[in-house]
Each structure stands twice: as C-alpha cells, then as structure tokens.
Amino acid sequence: MSTNIPRNITAVFSSLIRSLWTPEKLSKVISPHQFFDQIARTAPIFQGYQQQDAQEFLHCVLNRLHTEMSTTQHSTIITNLFQGELWNEITCKKCGNVSVKSDPFLDLSLDIPEHLNPAIHGCLENYTAPCEAEWFCQRCGVSTNCEKTLKLGICPAILCLHLKRFRWNPGRRRKQKLDGFVEFPLSRLDVSDWMCIDYDTDNCGLYDCYAIVVHHGQGINSGHYTAFVLGVENQWYHVNDEKVIPVTLELVENVKAYIIFYKRRE
C-alpha cells in the first residue's frame, strides 16, 4: 500500500483538481486512482471493479467532502454549491390548515413518465405534482385527508437532476433499465414554475447545462459510464476513460442522460 496517499478525501480531491489544471498536464491523461482508492477505503462498497451506481458514488463523495470540511465550518463549498431546499406544503382538506416542512437536497431523483420520448419538464412536473395523503392536523386534532405539494424553496447554484432509469420489474424479479430518450435543454432550463411564489430573484430559476453522465448498457450491475463536459469556448467533449474527444452540439442534445448537471445563471 502506498504511503504517500493523503489521508482524507478532501486532500486527495484537491490534489486531483490541481493536477487537472496544471498547465504542463492539460494535454495529458490524469488518472484519479488515488482519489478512487481513498473513496474505497471510506466506503467499501466501491472497492474492486464491479459496476456501481454513479448517483450513489456522487452522494458518497459530496457527503464525505462536506463532513470533512464541516469540522471547521458549518457551511461548506459543497452545501454552498449543491444544496437546495424542497418545501413540502401540506394542506388539510377539512379546515384548510397549511403546514410547510423544508427538506435539504443535493440532487433531485426524477421518475421517467411511461409515455415515449418524455421531456425533463414533464419529469419535474410529475415530481412536484400534488398528491393526497393522510396527515395529523394540529388544528383539527385528528388525522385527516390532506394534499401534499412539493416546491423549490431554495434553488442551488448547481442543480443535479438524476433520471431514475432503473426500475423494479415484479415479473422478472429484478431491476430493468429504462433506455428511452428524455429531452432536456442545454441552455435556459427554467424551473420557475416549480418554485415558491415569493421567490422573485432575477434569473434564479434559469439554468445552463455543463455536464452529463451517461450509462451505457442494459443492466444495473453491468455497463459503462461516460460523461459529456462543456469546455472552453463552448466546446463539448466526450470523456470516455482516457479518451477525450470534441463532439457536436447536436450529438450532446440527443444523449440518453442519467445525471444532468446545471449551473444557475448569475
């Protein structure tokens, strides 16, 4: 075991980022093996080379980075960039009493509608759609029927949208992949329709895409992940292990995204 590997994920990640942006290394392939090794030590599920879920890996990295940095500060660059708040609004159908509960999130996991060729707007609409439930109303003093509605209370600087492409198939008793295309904009994603009505900051609901994770293959325990990343001068690149090639805008617009990263417009 190498003794020169930094002892925590934050240090390894910092070293990796510095290597990526070192001028003499910009045209070379940078291996993240030390970063991966440190993650595997913290989360044994990622040890070895078995296929793992990219969203689970993202959560693991973000939560670990935040935990390590929060020992000296309450908010960190992770929460400042990635964390938003969902407002769960519950309305009693008997007396009209409204209760609002806030839940922090690092990404939104969106179901893919059954109809063919859905759009990301439809996924968001489905995610925030009102639903009926039973709830203990403090005003009525009993459990009553209520309507639950989700709204974006705080929009994060980086909005991560995870498309739930793996769904349990009761007949086959295993998860199957939903491989259909989901349309999504590369610029000016407007989420203002799903924000709280008193959220009126200019452009706070507009987002531009800068990275996409794609899963290739049919099984949840097999396949391959690649990424599409927006580089300098608005050029998109396909990152596939050690291969990084420029690609057209049209190609990026038609990829079957698994995780989409959006940056909020200033």
Confidence bin at 214 (pLDDT 50/70/90): very high
- Mean per-residue pLDDT over the chain, rounded: 87
Confidence bin at 3 (pLDDT 50/70/90): very low
Q: Among 89-103, 187-201, 236-250, which is the least confidently predicted range? A: 187-201
Q: Is residue 91 part of a domain?
A: no
Task: Provide mean pLDDT across the span 213-218.
Answer: 92
How many structural domains is the chain composed of? 2
- Looking at the fold, whether 160 and 205 belong to one and the same domain comes out as yes
Residue where a domain terminates, one of 67, 82, 97: 82
- Looking at the fold, whether 183 and 256 belong to one and the same domain comes out as yes
Q: What is the DSSP code string of the chain?
A: --S-S-SSHHHHHHHHHHHHT-GGGTTS----HHHHHHHHHH-GGG-SSS---HHHHHHHHHHHHHHHHTTT-SS-HHHHHH-EEEEEEEEETTT--EEEEEEEES-EEEPPPSSSS-BHHHHHHHHH--EEEEEEETTTTEEEEEEEEEEEEE--SEEEEEE--EEEETTTTEEEE-----B--SS-EE-GGGB-TT---TTTTEEEEEEEEEEESS-TTS-EEEEEEE-GGG-EEEEETTEEEEE-HHHHHTS-EEEEEEEE--
What pLDDT is attached to residue 77?
93
Q: Is residue 227 part of a domain?
A: yes
What pLDDT is attached to residue 202?
53
- Looking at the fold, whether 50 and 8 belong to one and the same domain comes out as yes
- Distant-in-sequence, close-in-space partners of 40: CB < 8 Å, separation ≥ 6: 46, 47, 48
Determine the Cα–Cα distance for residues 9 and 77; give it in Å rounded to an integer. 14
What pLDDT is attached to residue 216?
92
- Looking at the fold, whether 33 and 164 belong to one and the same domain comes out as no
- Looking at the fold, whether 12 and 111 belong to one and the same domain comes out as no
Residue 107, pLDDT > 70, answer yes
- Looking at the fold, whether 64 and 164 belong to one and the same domain comes out as no
| Residue pLDDT, tens place only, 80-90 | 999 999 999 99
What pLDDT is attached to residue 71?
75
Q: Is residue 43 part of a domain?
A: yes
Q: Is residue 208 part of a domain?
A: yes
- Looking at the fold, whether 252 and 170 belong to one and the same domain comes out as yes
Q: Is residue 34 part of a domain?
A: yes
Q: Is residue 225 part of a domain?
A: yes
Domain range for 8 is: 1-82
Question: What's this model's pTM, rounded to 2 decimal places?
Answer: 0.88
Percent of the chain with pLDDT over 90: 55
What pLDDT is attached to residue 70?
86
- Looking at the fold, whether 118 and 46 belong to one and the same domain comes out as no
- Looking at the fold, whether 120 and 218 belong to one and the same domain comes out as yes
Task: Provide mean pLDDT across the span 195-214.
Answer: 79
Residue 5, pLDDT > 90, answer no
Q: Is residue 146 part of a domain?
A: no
- Looking at the fold, whether 196 and 162 belong to one and the same domain comes out as yes
Residue 153, pLDDT > 70, answer yes
Determine the Cα–Cα distance for residues 22 and 39; give it in Å rounded to an integer. 23
What pLDDT is attached to residue 44?
84
Q: Which residue has the tokens 């994060």?
A: 156
| Residue pLDDT, tens place only, 45-61 | 888 777 788 999 999 99
Q: Is residue 232 part of a domain?
A: yes
Q: Domain holding 197: CATH number? A: 3.90.70.10
Confidence bin at 128 (pLDDT 50/70/90): very high
